Structure 1
Amino acid sequence: MDFGEWANNPNFSGLGDKFHACISSLAIHHLEDEMKLKLFERIRESLNAGGCFWNADPLLAESAAIKDIYQAAREDWARNQGETLAQIRANVGTSVSYGYSNPDRLATLSAQLEMLVKARFETVAVPWKYYGMAVFGGFVN
């Protein structure tokens, strides 16, 4: 399913109306920022009181200096795996556009936290971050 369609269509059927939790991993970073915000708003509207949303995704670096630090960390990780980043990337599939999803459309962590606040999540948190990857989300009352 294209979650962009779900975000844009409040009458979308097939998923149910309310949820206790929503979890995403390695998917939302394929949306443009405008659609990320719409999706966060739709998720917020769909959560029961006390519900939560967590997303694990790669991040856009906040600056050129931080981008270099993230790159060095990825290269170090690859060396520890006994490979180069080029070898690892050769084994990973490529993204293709489909519906609202595109190849990587990374956003900074701060921009996405702002989107969650704008979407009316009452509590926003980052329980885990490692260089250019993070788990972030929030709770509704």
Structure 2
Amino acid sequence: MLAAIARCLPSQASCILELGCGTGELSLQILQTCPTAEVIALDYSPRMIQYARRKIEAAGYGIRWRGIAMDFGEWAAGKKVDEMSESFDACASSLAIHHLSDSMKLKLFQRIGDTLKPGGCFWNADPVVLESSQLSQAYQKAREEWAIAQGTTLAEVRAKLGTSNNYGYSSQDQLATLEEHLQMLKTAGFESVAVPWKYFGLAVFGGFIPS
């Protein structure tokens, strides 16, 4: 999933914005795939920023990565960030935006579009509402089989991950259908909207700002 996002980004990008960097896994994929890019990463948790920084520095990419402790929901609502540019070649996010309400998702997509250079792109990986109960059941079974293969259970995985805390504009999962996400992107001005990767209730989707 993360590799799919990284492959969709322009390999010669000079500056990429990441929203909700978490432990730095997507940042690492981007830095490996886009050898000239600087990644500016927002995350509301200083602890996550610190964790990601250590991982990225250990991999030798510290000079091309900068973490900023900020709720990207506040950025979507119009707050300026003095430490970062307002012009990017691309934007990416993984497993973070689904914590926003649909109205805030649209505001975020619009802010991203306003920040991207002409021809720039945005790719997001997030859980989506499945189209039928049969697919939901199949996805649940696939997740259970994956957990067994890892020598654990879904309950144990959830316990280790813990429950997401409400913070700023983010709260517990606020999922939308894939079609609703794509329509929000189009409303925000993105074109060539596409879904390059999907596995049951997880999808990578995004599009481009007109050149």
Where on the TM-score scale, by shorter chain, does this alignment land: which range?
over 0.9
- For 1:76-87, what aligned pairs fall within 5 Å after superposition? 76-87=145-156
Who is 1:75 aligned against? Answer: 144
> How far apart, in 2, do the equivalents of 1:95 and 1:53 lie?
24
| Code of the aligned partner of 2:149 | N
Structure 1 stretches (4+) deviating beyond 4 angstroms?
A: none
Q: Distance in 2 between matches of 1:4 and 1:53?
A: 16
TM-score normalised according to structure 1 size: 0.93
In the other structure, the counterpart of 2:120 is 51
TM-score, scaled to structure 2: 0.63
Mapping of residues 1-141 of structure 1, within 5 Å = 1-9=70-78, 12-14=80-82, 15-141=84-210
Q: Report how far residue 129 of structure 1 moved.
A: 0.7
**In structure 1, distance between residues paired with 2:161 and 2:72:** 23
Q: What residue in structure 1 maps to residue 15 of structure 2?
A: none
In the TM superposition, residue 127 of structure 1 has moved relative to its aligned partner by 0.9
User: In the aligned structure 2, how far is the partner of 1:24 from the partner of 1:67?
Assistant: 24
| Displacement of 1:31 | 0.3
Name the CA distance, whole Å, in 2 between partners of 1:59 and 1:76. 20
Once the two structures are aligned, what percentage of the paired residues are identical?
61
- Aligned-residue CA RMSD (Å): 1.2
Structure 2 residue runs without a partner (length 5+) = 1-69
